[in-house]
Every structure is written in structure tokens, then in C-alpha cells.
Amino acid sequence: METLVVDHPLVAHKLTTLRNVHTDSPTFRRLTDELVTLLAYEATRDVRVADVTVDTPLTPMTGVQLTRPTPLVVPILRAGLGMLDGMTRLLPTAEIGFLGMARDEQTLQPATYADRLPQDLSGRQCYVLDPMLATGGTLAAALKLLVDRGADHITAICLLAAPEGLNAVEKKLTETLQADHGATLRVVTAAVDERLDENGFIVPGLGDAGDRLYGCS
């Protein structure tokens, strides 16, 4: 699994404002939208294209266009919804699937409560939207589900990640996926922070992304 930290002054500037406890929800939503578009620019560097010939006002030329099947964008509910507009602004022809996951209070494992994804994802590039990669359980479960359905190129876009979460995702996927699954897995994030606290929050972090996006718990 590859991790890409986007090192850009605009990314750092917007992330700093998101971290500020005094940033209100409307500003938080707007900056999240803008930050995701910047992250998506880097995350889609490997998007699949094919040559196409077009006529310019002067002469025919060969350029590129996105191949089919089109990429699939998958926000993880609920906080991932706050990243959707920023992603589709850059990739408007993508299809959108929704995945709702929550921790089961008895087993403490991620459980899927909403699944609006194609059953067959063979040959699909998928972009998973999840603001905070903290403990890594939810994201690992989401990535495994996509690979099990045939996706062969998956990029998770996160505002922030914790080292423990990145390690946990890689460990869980190594344990649960077949060695010959052939899928490319990558995490694109604005920063990898110091650590998780005893409650599983990223430090220094920015708090609960869902609560800050929508103003309620």
C-alpha cells in the first residue's frame, strides 16, 4: 500500500484553518471542499485515459479522454459526504456509490449498514472518501469490500491520517486479501499527524470531522 502526503502550500494553509477550533461549520465545509479538490488533483494522476483524435479550429490532433468503465467515487457515510462535491468537481463524469459503515458495539468491528455499490467492480478505478484515517478499521473494511468485488485500483483520499491507522490498514489488508489479488491500493492525504490519543482521536488532528462539517453529533 502506497501513502502520498500532498506537500503544497495551499494544502497546508487550508488544513491549518480546518484544524482551528474557532473555524465555524460553514467555513469548515467550504475549506474541506477546496482541500479535497487539491488532493483529488494528485490522487487522479493515474486515472486511466485512452488516445482520442479531435479537430481543433486549425487541425486534427491526438489527445486523451477518460476510459470506460468510468471511475467510481465512494464516500463513506456520513463525513465522507462533505468531500463529495470537491471530488466530483474535478471528476464530474465519475459514478458515485455510497457506503455506510459503523462500529458494532458488541464486536467492535466495522459493520456495513448501507451499501449502494455495484456488485461487480471488475476493472474499475475507485476513489474512497473518508476524512479521518484514525484507527483504520473502517477504511480497511471498505477497501477489502471493493477488492472483493473486483476493483483493481483503489485510492483513499483522507484529510488527515495517523501512523497507527496507516499501519493498521496495511496489516489488515495483508492478512485478509489474497496475495495475488492484483489490486493497487493507495492513500492520499494532506498530512500524517503524530499519533492517536487514548480515545482514538488523531493528535493534533482537527476533532470529529463529521461534527465539524454538520454541526451536530
Q: What is the mean pLDDT of residues 93-100?
A: 93
- Report the binding-site residues: 78, 103, 130-138, 202, 207-209
pLDDT at 105: 57
- Report the binding-site residues for uracil: 202, 207-209
Q: What is the mean pLDDT of residues 69-84?
A: 92
- Report the binding-site residues for 5-phospho-alpha-D-ribose 1-diphosphate: 78, 103, 130-138, 208
Q: What is the mean pLDDT of residues 49-77?
A: 94
Q: What is the mean pLDDT of residues 32-38?
A: 95
Q: 153: which strand partners?
A: 125, 184
Indicate whether 31 pLDDT > 70: yes
Per-residue pLDDT band for 92 (boundaries 50, 70, 90) equals very high
This prediction's pTM: 0.91
Q: 64: which strand partners?
A: 51
pLDDT at 174: 82
Q: Give which of 120, 125, 134, 137 is closest to 184, Cα–Cα.
A: 125
Q: What is the mean pLDDT of residues 42-57?
A: 94
What topology does CATH give the domain 2-48+66-214? Rossmann fold (3.40.50)
Q: What is the mean pLDDT of residues 117-123?
A: 91
Per-residue pLDDT band for 76 (boundaries 50, 70, 90) equals very high
Kindly list the distances between the CA atom of residue 32 and the CA atoms of 15, 19, 38, 180, in Å, as whole numbers in the listed order.
Answer: 8, 11, 10, 36
Per-residue pLDDT band for 215 (boundaries 50, 70, 90) equals confident
pLDDT at 180: 61
Per-residue pLDDT band for 128 (boundaries 50, 70, 90) equals very high
Average pLDDT value for the chain? 90
pLDDT at 182: 74
